[in-house]
Chains A and B, each alone.
Chain A
């Protein structure tokens, strides 16, 4: 029995490419990367390029009408910005369905304040309670009000993709009417230093899938998708954008921070997502790769792509060359980028690519391509081998 289709009826995004889908689309089409010199994050390692959201906390609070006295950290602020756009598109600002679930992915939570006030939080005690991941979710939920259920997924860099999966399951079991899913993560010294000690940060703009790739650039951002069943969207009279046709979550079970040489977790994630979507590898028109630009990820993911798609590898690009690695938000940031590509029939470029990897049978798309598209697949992999893949399709 085919279960009822899960549709996307709203999307909102903020990243180094700017605020909103239009800014994101413009940057992608004009090959204008968000990666550049650090402006807001205060760190001694300011020589690393990053993709920062071009707004200060104060500017975001001001634009959202949040009082400057409010205790709130950057992660939920980015989340509120992004969710606001999705909310309007899905008409949730008008009449609210009764049961809305909000599933948020984050890992650093309020860390960006904790690391400033640590260890004593002298005169900043209010930020102690804002440290954990769940508080960021609550802060976003409080701004919009009226959610029936909220929760936070924290699987590092695949958090937002796993939020999409949970949301779909909540809809399929009929527990909620609408699921708002995605993730948010701001830059923090904690992450920057962490990735720096692992020696996987590039001091120049990252070069995903390039033989001479050195590492990743960190980014920040937030993105949310509004999901609901077809019948429900119809009843509400909201225009569907596309459908979530398949998804899978697997575990590489190889190493805490490294991916396996044969990309088993990534292979299974793509393979199982195709199966879940009742699609064949040749149906996929574009792969938005996890493509961090690290030696390890791109080889492992590339190998997995070859194993799944054999001789029929569709165009592949990593848009982390635009947004940087937005970590916990990457799954939804890149889902929205993939959906924009799907709707506008183009393949975003994989910037900074020059040298093919000898181990791989394919090269990423170097320049923006026009292509009629039906199905796109996006990968999100995290520390600990938490690998997920989602497939979005046009509604026929």
Chain B
């Protein structure tokens, strides 16, 4: 069984619905970075767009983008990962409910507050009656979606899948998470993040959407070789799981060209990667991306976007390298490794095709 990424689209702090920025990403210098909004007119009727929250617009635009690129308008599965779902609508309903003491409420925001609004709105737009689901498990929401699709390819239940990760960060939720030290205090830049000597990361937003198919074509960006998620693993469990995943494809750790990590400048977060590097990847270059798009529950969707671009263009520019300074040319296998609060861990293995 083979699975190929046939098209990818993203909306983030970098140029939206484009990969032109991949070679020269812009550095971030704020602790709270919202995504750059594209012109939605090409994808959503402006009347309709006005009634939609940010996350829905981003999800629809990225989905329709990959649908158009591939011509696959009836994917066998539509699967979304989202840590917080439609938090903007949830907050609007919650705020009104608390403020007006449960009186004078309107249903609109409630109707579009559930996490599955995203997958179901995509299905509504495509008039697609097939498999449709949503995962909301903090930092592995996107990976859970990918795993679901991967297994259904394996079981030959599907031939195509639209898989995405979407999260927005509203000003109110930013403030709440700031109270519990999710975000860096004060000044931020790449040098500060590299030090990993304080708590917090840059708060970002992530929308990354992929069309997967079991057949290779001239559209194929790269191959999705494997995916695994683990809960509370020790170092041995991580090593075993990684070797098992690589072994299925007759690969070993030395065959990995670069490890795309979730290093984000938070000292506790980064310590986990540093330990892994010592124990598992002492001779493999580490890359990072959260200094360019920020941290969010589904940031790893953007890691998959960037890694797919690197495999397609056969170069990982220096901006993404955590150790080492010159761009890596000629890439075969990229391992995306992410963890959330050292509880949920995930691997995604991509290969050039």
Contact = CB atoms under 8 A, between A and B. Distances in A.
B98 A385 contact: no
A149 B148 CA distance: 13
A219 B344 CA distance: 31
Which size class do B's interface residues fall under? 35 or more
B129 A194 contact: no
Nearest to A253: B123
Nearest to B95: A119
A189 interface: yes
A250 B154 CA distance: 19
Nearest to A264: B129
5 contacts: A119-B95, A141-B232, A193-B93, A193-B102, A384-B132
A194 B110 contact: yes
B117 A256 contact: yes
B134 A153 contact: yes
Interface stretch (B172-180, B201-209, B301-309): B172-180
B231 A150 contact: yes
B121 interface: yes
Interface in B6-40: none
For the residues of B in contact with A, the DSSP-based class is mixed
Interface string B188-213: 00000000000000000000000000
Contacts of A193: 93, 97, 102, 105, 110
B114 A268 contact: no
Interface string A276-297: 0000000000000000000000
Given A249-B133, A251-B129, A385 B123 contact: yes
Interface in A159-192: 162, 166, 169-170, 172-173, 175, 189-190
Contacts of B102: 43-45, 189, 193
Given A193-B97, A194-B110, A251 B120 contact: yes
B83, B131, B231: most-surrounded residue (chain A CB, <10 A): B231
B247 to A, nearest CB: 14
B148 to A, nearest CB: 6
A99 to B, nearest CB: 10
Interface of A: 43-45, 102, 107, 109, 114-115, 118-119, 121, 125-126, 128-129, 132-135, 137-138, 141, 147-156, 162, 166, 169-170, 172-173, 175, 189-190, 193-194, 196-198, 249-257, 264-265, 268, 382-386
For the residues of A in contact with B, the DSSP-based class is mixed
A132, A162, A251, A265: most-surrounded residue (chain B CB, <10 A): A251
Given A148-B233, A154-B114, 12 more contacts: A43-B102, A45-B102, A115-B97, A126-B180, A132-B136, A138-B138, A153-B134, A155-B116, A156-B114, A193-B110, A251-B120, A251-B123
A190 B102 CA distance: 9
B347 to A, nearest CB: 12
A118 B180 contact: no
B140 interface: yes
B124 A253 contact: yes
Contacts of B83: 132, 134
